[in-house]
Amino acid sequence: MKAESPAIDHRNARSDVEAYVAAALAGDVGKAASLAKDAPAGPEQIRAFSQILNLQRLKISRVLR
């Protein structure tokens, strides 16, 4: 299952986080891993994220850099 591709503004932390979470929850491990920068999670961690939350979407209310 592939994640929808929202427009990602890499100057905006919220945009990056929303894209990462959407990809991880959709099971698109490759895309989620490619969006992680300084400390990327491994494929098993990304899969676990989706399984632990058991959600299709997650609203991000605030992102701090």
Residues 22-41 pLDDT 10s: 999 998 998 988 888 777 78
Domain around 28 = 13-53
Residue 30 covered by a domain: yes
Q: How far apart, in whole angstroms, are the C-alpha atoms of residue 48 and residue 56?
A: 14
How many domains does one find in the chain? 1
Is pTM beyond 0.95? Reply is: no
pLDDT of residue 65: 66
How many CB atoms within 10 Å of residue 35? 20
Look at residue 30 and give its three-state secondary structure.
Answer: helix
Q: How far apart, in whole angstroms, are the C-alpha atoms of residue 62 and residue 40?
A: 21
Look at residue 9 and give its three-state secondary structure.
Answer: coil
Q: Tell me if 16 sits within 8 A of 8, measured CB to CB.
A: yes
pLDDT of residue 6: 57
